[in-house]
Every structure is written in structure tokens, then in C-alpha cells.
Amino acid sequence: MNTMNFENKQLSDLLLYIEQQGITDLRLIDAIKAVPREMFLLSSFRTHAYKDVALPINCNQTISQPSIVARMTEALELTDRTKVLEIGSGSGYQTAILAYLCRRVYTIERYRPLLVETTERLKNLGINNVTTRHADGSLGWVEQAPFQRILVTAAAADIPPNLLSQLGKSGVLVAPIGHDKKDQRLTRIRRKKDSLESEDLGPVSFVPLELGVVRD
């Protein structure tokens, strides 16, 4: 089996596995099929691109396993008109999936080297509906608020108040909650008029959201 056929088989198996995990959004399945995950990996890990595993990236961070990306993305309930704030650009893979599904993504990364890499990858893929910022993600992006959807890709004990204040009317925020990786829960917050409704979507394991930290 040549390399191309091997990768296609791995991708087909991955898509089947993701569907078996309960993902039903066909647009999301198409996005995972369309976005080449290998482009977001270090060269030494590209042969693992279509395995359902988290992998290391630069700055001691990780790229989430595809099934987790799918769970978090589906939980956002995106449309092609949605405006999204992403906290933690990382490798840019999750960013690219969001960009495939919504109108515009505003993404914040605290590690400048990661953001430089992400910006270049998105440019090479012809993705032009993403705006990036090097900053403390816990502060959100006041100038572009409110957001219809907010995705946080690092775990904190509680949702930073700045992010909740930037969540628009009927907005949805999805984030891992809990510092200890063994106790983190994927949580969906919905804004309902003057109240917030919380929903537990199950266990996850993410790197911590470092409040007030920006690194060059």
C-alpha cells in the first residue's frame, strides 16, 4: 500500500470512529475530512496525523485528538453565519476546522511562536476568515465582542469573567473546566436572557489556561 492510500485508509477509519462516537453533524465530518491534520504537526509526528491521539507541538503544548476536536466543535452548534472567539490557537488545527464551518474566527494565542506558525499554515491553506492576536486569552477580545460562540481550548478552574461578559445574546461557550487533568469536565454554557445555563458534556484532559500569561 503506497503512502497516499495508507493515509486515505487512516482518514476513513478516523471518520468512521468519530461517527461511532456520536458525531452527527455532516458539515463537521466534511471539515475534518477536508482539513489536512498533517500540516499542523511536527514533521516527526505526521505519520500519526489520522490516529485519534493527542500529539505534542512546540512550546510544550499539544494538538487535541480529532474526536475531542469534533466533540467540542459540535457542541458549539455552528452555522455558516456564526462569529467565533477561540482561546488558544495552538497548532491552528482547531482554528481551521472552525473556519471551515463559520463566518469568521477570532483566535488568541499566548505563545507568539505558535501564532506565527498558525498564521502561516492558515495562509498556505487559503483560509482567509481568521483574525489572530498574540495576547492573554483570558481577557477575550473586547474590540470584537460580543461573540455568538466562544471556544476555550485550555482548562481553568472557572470560566474567566471577561469571556462570559463577551458572550452575546443566546451565545454558547464551550470549555474544559478543572485544573487537575483527572477531574476536568467539558462544559457548555448557554446565555439565556439574563442567566447562564451550564451543561456537563463529559471528561476531558487539557493543558492549563495560564491567566495573565503572554509569551514571546
- Active-site residue 89, yes or no? no
- Residue of 43, 64, 91, 170 marked active site: 64
State the chain's maximal CA–CA distance in angstroms. 58
Q: Label residues 47-86 b or e (16+ Cβ within 10 Å = b).
A: eebbbbebbebeeebbbbbbbbbbbbbbbbebeeebbbbb
Host H or E run for residue 172: strand 167-177
Which set of grid coordinates corresponds to residue 134?
Answer: 498574540
Instruction: Give Cβ neighbours of residue 129 (< 8 Å, ≥ 6 apart).
Output: 99, 102, 103, 104, 105
- C-beta separation of 211 from 158 below 8 A: no
Long-range contacts of 121-127 (CB under 8 A, 24+ apart): 121/39, 121/40, 121/91, 121/92, 121/96, 122/92, 122/95, 122/96, 124/39, 125/35, 125/36, 125/39, 125/96, 127/96, 127/99, 127/100
Q: Which residues are catalytic?
A: 64
